[in-house]
Amino acid sequence: MAFNLIYKPFGERAILVEWPAVIDENILKDIVNFKNSIEKNNIKSIIELKPAYNSLLISYHTVCRNFENEVNELKNVYLASGFKDKSKCVLWKIPVCYDIVYGIDLEAISKIKSLSKEEIIKRHFKPIYTVYFIGFLPGFLYLGGLDELLHVPRKSTPRLQIEKGAVAIGGNQTGVYPAESPGGWNIIGNSPIEFFNPNMTPPCFAKAGDKISFKPITIQEFKTIKLLVEGGVYQIESEVLDD
């Protein structure tokens, strides 16, 4: 199945390609597939590609003089790329300490949802999450796949400071804060992993289309992994999946 895409100019040097306005894994696969095809075609005038839930932004080196030409070129690449519903992706296994030392909102969520803390934790580390894209902060992964029972509204007053590594729930989304930041999400744990390292190429291990799973660890394990991460010797567990 090929989608009916909409191409819009976005300023002088970018084209926004839009898929239907829903969050859907088939759309994600199609976006990643289109992105890979554009990269393979090595179109010299394109400077970078930025995927999101249902869009792909294509930025050019110079002003697009003829929007129609650029769009036709992209349409040809899209048609030639074909729809692939099977693709290889990486599953990253992320250690998370759900101890209440880090999971400072577990108690409150437990009350709101009438679920035990153990049940909340289990329902959070059980699914395999999909990485839709990276945005908001450098290295912040937009993940899909949160258990509906764990949907908790954002806090009405955001915290001025959320710790680096905080694992949190905001509405129907879950994510890990890659750096210290203000934020309104509910915090249920902390991961000792670096989600963004400006000195690495690329600076993030994960990319759009990858999978994430969370693995519960004790405070002691958290401390050990943190030391290994700081020493630059920790290897994140991963496997290649045929999705």
Partner 1 sequence: MIKVLHPGFYSTIQDSGRIGFQQYGVPYSGVMDIYSAALANHTLGNKESASVIEMTMTGATLQFYYDTYICISGADMVAKINDTNIMLNKSIKIISGDKLTFGKLKKGFRSYLAVSGGFKTETIMNSQSMYKGITTQSRISKNDELKINTNTYYIDNKHALIKVNNELYFNDKIEVFKGPEFELLSKNQQEFLFQMTFTISKDNNRMAYQLLETLDNSLEPIITSAVLPGTVQLTPSGKLIVLMRDCQTTGGYPRVLQLKESAINILAQKFTGNVINFKLV
Burial class (CB in 10 A: 0-12, 13-18, 19+), 94: buried
Task: Please work out, in degrees rounded to the nearest 5, the angle formed at the alpha carbon of residue 164 by the alpha carbons of 158 and 170.
Answer: 40
Interatomic CA distance for residues 45 and 192, integer angstroms: 40
- How near is the Cβ of 142 to partner 1 at its closest, in Å? 7
Interatomic CA distance for residues 35 and 30, integer angstroms: 8
Interatomic CA distance for residues 152 and 170, integer angstroms: 6
66/114 with CB nearer partner 1: 66
120/210 with CB nearer partner 1: 210
Which residues of the chain form contacts with partner 1 (CB under 8 A)? 8-14, 16, 18, 21-23, 47-55, 57, 59, 133-140, 142, 179, 196, 198-199, 202-204, 207-208
- How near is the Cβ of 54 to partner 1 at its closest, in Å? 6
7/102 with CB nearer partner 1: 7
- How near is the Cβ of 7 to partner 1 at its closest, in Å? 11
- How near is the Cβ of 199 to partner 1 at its closest, in Å? 7
Dihedral class, residue 53 (left if φ above 0, else alpha if ψ from -120 to 50, else beta): alpha
Check if the beta carbon of residue 167 is closer than 8 Å to that of residue 72.
no
29/217 with CB nearer partner 1: 29
Report the candidate in 73, 72, 71, 86 with the shortest Cα–Cα distance to residue 33: 86
125/136 with CB nearer partner 1: 136
- How near is the Cβ of 221 to partner 1 at its closest, in Å? 26
56/188 with CB nearer partner 1: 56
- How near is the Cβ of 22 to partner 1 at its closest, in Å? 8
Find where tokens 């036709």 sit. 72
Find where tokens 């009405």 sit. 156
